[in-house]
Structure 1
Amino acid sequence: MFVNAIDGAREPLDQLKAALDASGVVGTWTWSGSQDRCILDAGAACILAGDPGLAGTPIRLERAKACVHPDDRAALFHQFRALGRTGGLFVAEYRTLSPEGQVRTILDRGRIFRASDGAVTHGHGIILDVTEKACQDPVPAELQQPLELAASHAIACRGAIDRLDIAELRLIVDMLLLRLGQELCRSSTMGAGGLH
């Protein structure tokens, strides 16, 4: 399927939905900085809040993240609150614990936006279920390709920097991650016959 970010989907939306489902996307969220309220869609409300009936209802962050695993809650809330003051890219991997006791691994990615006066206004993001990835045996460092190993360490570094809440360091690591991603993409296209 071909999607143009400006013109929209050029093929039926059911193909876009199938692609999102295959990639693990299970929901979306929005956050209002002025009201400090989250709005989850049905998928996010089910996974994060444990109640799909909360979809579309403005709720406090604590309620919106009620199913975050107790061992991951403090770090996740600290990271989100820090970005709630500064704005910027939000990327977090954490576990959820359903009311039935099922543990899932979630990748949460979004952005917190600022107005021209610097005030944080709102945020949008998606959540992906990456439980399958988390369950796979990790590849030993000595068997990883150098770019993949560097990217893995940079991602871990980004997680630690988020806990420091230093915007300049976060920007430097984000630039490194972007550059590593470009090199990984270039090397994968070269490995596929050099097609660009």
Structure 2
Amino acid sequence: MFSIAGMAPALRAAGLIGTWGTNVAAGRSVLDEGAAALLAGNAALAGQPLPLEAALARTHPDDRDWVFERIRRVRQTGGPFSAEFRILTDMNEVRWVLNRGALTPDETGAMQGRGAYIDTTDAHRDAFISAASLSQDPVNTLDVAADHCIAAHTALERGGHFDLHRISEMLLFGIGQALARRG
């Protein structure tokens, strides 16, 4: 039989870092111990209302602007939230984090958020190969490329990008020749 306490090892094995809660009107987030340690850089900040800059202090400098902008936007609109970004640990190690949650009005109409951080670093260590690409017949790759190129060719023509349209014609011609050789 499953229990909440028994789920902790499974959640850690799945990469759960920790959880967050946000009071949008106050502009503050509360992190649990795991999230505070890794994302804010200090486990002692767990349970304390933190501004966004403190709660996500370890966000990688190259990701900081877009991550903070997306969070600010969902704080205005509400709804589901999902963003995968990098952080820098205290040892200057890059880790990948998936932030998933939702912001919804509470019973008084005030916007509140809840979510979790998941470590996805393992998925970024090697080149990603999708299940779809593994199941594709290698002979089909030219057909797929032709379909994509036709779509790009059409979009470029509609957009009035005639120089790029001409280049896409050459690519289509080359793909057509390869398809003809394939038989």
TM-score using structure 2 length:
0.68
Q: 108-117 or 48-57: which moved more?
A: 108-117
Runs of 4+ in 1 over 6 A off after TM superposition: none
Paired residue for 1:101? 92
Residues 38-117 of structure 1 aligned to structure 2 (within 5 Å): 38-115=29-106
- 1:54/1:91 CA distance change after superposition, 3 Å: same
- 1:142/1:128 CA distance change after superposition, 3 Å: closer
Which one of the candidate residues 121, 124, 149 is aligned to 1:134? 124
* Unpaired stretches in structure 1, ≥5 consecutive residues: 1-9, 147-196
Question: Residue by residue, what CA displacement relative to the aligned partner does 1:109-157 show, whole Å, maximum 9, x if unpaired?
Answer: 000112578x5511000000010011122227983447xxxxxxxxxxx
- 1:58/1:142 CA distance change after superposition, 3 Å: closer
Work out which of the two has the higher radius of gyration on C-alpha atoms and give 1 or 2.
2
- 1:81/1:141 CA distance change after superposition, 3 Å: same
Number of residue pairs matched by the alignment? 136
Q: Quick one: distance in 2 between partners of 1:84 and 1:120?
A: 11
Paired residue for 1:123? 113
- 1:75/1:143 CA distance change after superposition, 3 Å: same
Letter in 2 for 1:33: V
Q: Secondary structure at the match of 2:47?
A: coil
**What RMSD over aligned residues (CA atoms) do the two structures have, in Å?**
2.1
Q: Quick one: distance in 1 between partners of 2:106 and 2:34?
A: 29
Q: Secondary structure at the match of 1:111?
A: strand
Which one of the candidate residues 6, 10, 28 is aligned to 2:19? 28
The share of aligned pairs that are identical, in percent, is 36
* Unpaired stretches in structure 2, ≥5 consecutive residues: 137-183
Q: Quick one: distance in 2 between partners of 1:28 and 1:91?
A: 14
Q: Quick one: distance in 1 between partners of 2:132 and 2:99?
A: 29
Letter in 2 for 1:17: A
Once the two structures are TM-superposed, the CA of residue 102 in structure 1 deviates from its matched residue by 1.3
Paired residue for 1:19? 10
